[in-house]
Chain A
Amino acid sequence: MTLAETQELFHRAITGPVPLDEAELDRCFGGTGELSAADRVEIYRNMYTARLVDALRETFPNLARFLGEERFGALGEAYLAEHPSEHHDVGRLGRRLADFLNAYPDPERADLADLAELEWTRNEVFFAPESRIVGAEALVAAGVENVAGVRLRIAPSLCVIGLAHDAAALWRSLAAGEEVLPPREGPAVAVWRRGFEVFHCTLPPEEAGALRAAMEGQPIDAICSAFAGRPDPATEAHAAISSWFAEGWIAGVVLPAA
């Protein structure tokens, strides 16, 4: 048996849907009276599933809390069968779990995919690169005559996600150990890191639109136009953009080209 054939067999024995035939394992692995070859391979097979489901549990603590040990374990195994790890960092394993839950939605809780998306984004933001942040004085320094054309450089540790359901409310209830309410329609959510702590909050639709415009590199006047339908667009735009600076979401101010 070549090295390649051995690894093919061993991998199949550990990750395949059912344990391999004992005779096939006996051709490759030695056994003893106390532990057959199949018993020995089963140790690795059990560790494979347990280790990777544990890794998912660490990334999605509130989803795991909601589902409980058994249901989360079953979800993890089903997910692994379709999406085995393809990255050296086991922490990346869950990057398709929200898509998986969208493809196979829970019949009672259609918002679990959104909860997974929120928890995955929090994980991503935690490991986002550091960047300097600037205060609102950077915008003031650009000069009144330039403000309309100024572009905002958004910190890499800020993400805005659009969710079908209010996963932020579900996340909060689970984290606090409170009663979970039925799924409801959800607003956009901003997820960001300050220091080593990750936060998230819901965003009104106008502010979410404005923030997405800023992330696309549009100038201030285009960002502000997101508030055009509001009773006092200028005041609301000013309040929103000021809060972005205060939260540490802005990494720089880019003046319009002369």
Chain B
Amino acid sequence: MFQRLDLGHGIGLRNKHFARFQEERPPVSWVEVVTENFMADGGRPIAVLEKVRRDMPVVLHGVSLSIGSVDPLSGSYLADLKKLVARIEPAMVTDHLCWGTHRGQYVHDLLPLPYTEESLAHVASRVSAVQEFLGRRILLENPSSYVAFRESTMTEWEFLSALCRQSDCGILLDVNNVYVSARNLGFDPIAYLDGIDAGRVGQFHLAGHGDRGRYLLDTHDEAVPPAVWDLYREALKRFGRVPSLVEWDDHIPPLDEVVAQSRRAAEIEAEELAPALRRAS
């Protein structure tokens, strides 16, 4: 049965900050890395990751599992993933509710799925297969979307909840992605949060996005904006204490600035949850 871990507040480990992580233990509770960047047998990335893993928990966050593709699951990818999982012993293994391969070609993007019974059965069976192969639960992240499908018969939150019930996986709830998709597709982000099974949420992602006028683009290239912090507060009210992760992948600032964002997440969590904790005592 899926169980939430209590990791605290982390940040994405990026190349720009490797030197700091090699020299010291920065003040974050955990880090997340993009799985595919650490699958090579040698070189600096895996050496840095092994050092960091000795200091703190690590989460492997994949972008190429392509769980929703009609292509067969990639045996070589899964074998590389399993090898890395054995080497790093991550706290969580996560990827995205999306597809990114077609007839063996990778688009290296997180393409959304039509939310239909056919997609649900397809993805649920593949999640089960992956979990069985890895011998552990995985968490899937809601993607940022710019299109909706005419074939869809359910909302993304209904799809995610049903998927969790069928395959016993967890949800990596990207608060920024909920906000971005809500703006782009015209749904209510609060309805999204209300529709998610609280017990399935194992991690939050927080990030910035770009305003392109007619739509929002999930850029991860700036600080978490106020609207996303506000939605994070709403998520905390519904899901309680959940490990949070600040992503900053482009125009990456000095490490201290990213860490400050993580501290802000911790402060907001304390503000939102402390009164309830006091009442409980």
Contact = CB atoms under 8 A, between A and B. Distances in A.
Q: Is the interface on chain B under 10, 10 to 19, 20 to 34, or 35 or more residues?
A: 35 or more
Contacts of A27: 150
Contacts of B5: none
A65 interface: no
A223 to B, nearest CB: 26
A48 B47 contact: no
Contact of A40 (B104, B147, B186): B147
Nearest to B78: A88
B109 interface: yes
A197 to B, nearest CB: 9
Given A29-B148, A39-B214, A126-B44, A7 B107 contact: no
A129 B77 contact: no
B64 A196 contact: no
Interface of chain A, main secondary structure: helix
A85 B147 contact: no
B190 interface: no
B215 interface: yes
Contacts of B44: 126, 196
B245 to A, nearest CB: 21
Identify the interface centre among B39, B99, B107, B150: most chain A CB within 10 Å of its CB. B107
B42 interface: yes
A15 B107 contact: yes
Contacts of B104: 86
A222 B86 CA distance: 42
Contacts, number: 118
B113 interface: yes
B69 interface: yes
Interface in A6-43: 6-8, 10-11, 14-15, 27-30, 32, 34-35, 37, 39-41, 43
Contacts of A29: 147-150
Contacts of A35: 146, 184, 214-215
Nearest to B66: A88
B150 A51 contact: no
B43 A7 contact: no
B70 A3 contact: yes
A30 B147 contact: yes
B281 interface: no
Contacts of B108: 48, 51-52, 55, 85, 90
27 contacts: A2-B118, A4-B70, A6-B114, A6-B149, A6-B151, A7-B99, A15-B105, A30-B147, A30-B148, A30-B150, A32-B186, A34-B214, A35-B146, A35-B184, A35-B215, A40-B146, A43-B215, A55-B108, A88-B80, A89-B36, A89-B39, A89-B64, A126-B44, A127-B40, A128-B42, A128-B43, A196-B43
Given A48-B107, A127-B42, 9 more contacts: A3-B118, A3-B119, A11-B102, A15-B107, A28-B150, A30-B148, A32-B186, A89-B39, A127-B41
Q: Which 9 A/B pairs are nearest by Cβ-Cβ distance? A: A127-B40, A88-B64, A196-B44, A129-B41, A11-B102, A85-B106, A127-B43, A129-B42, A40-B147
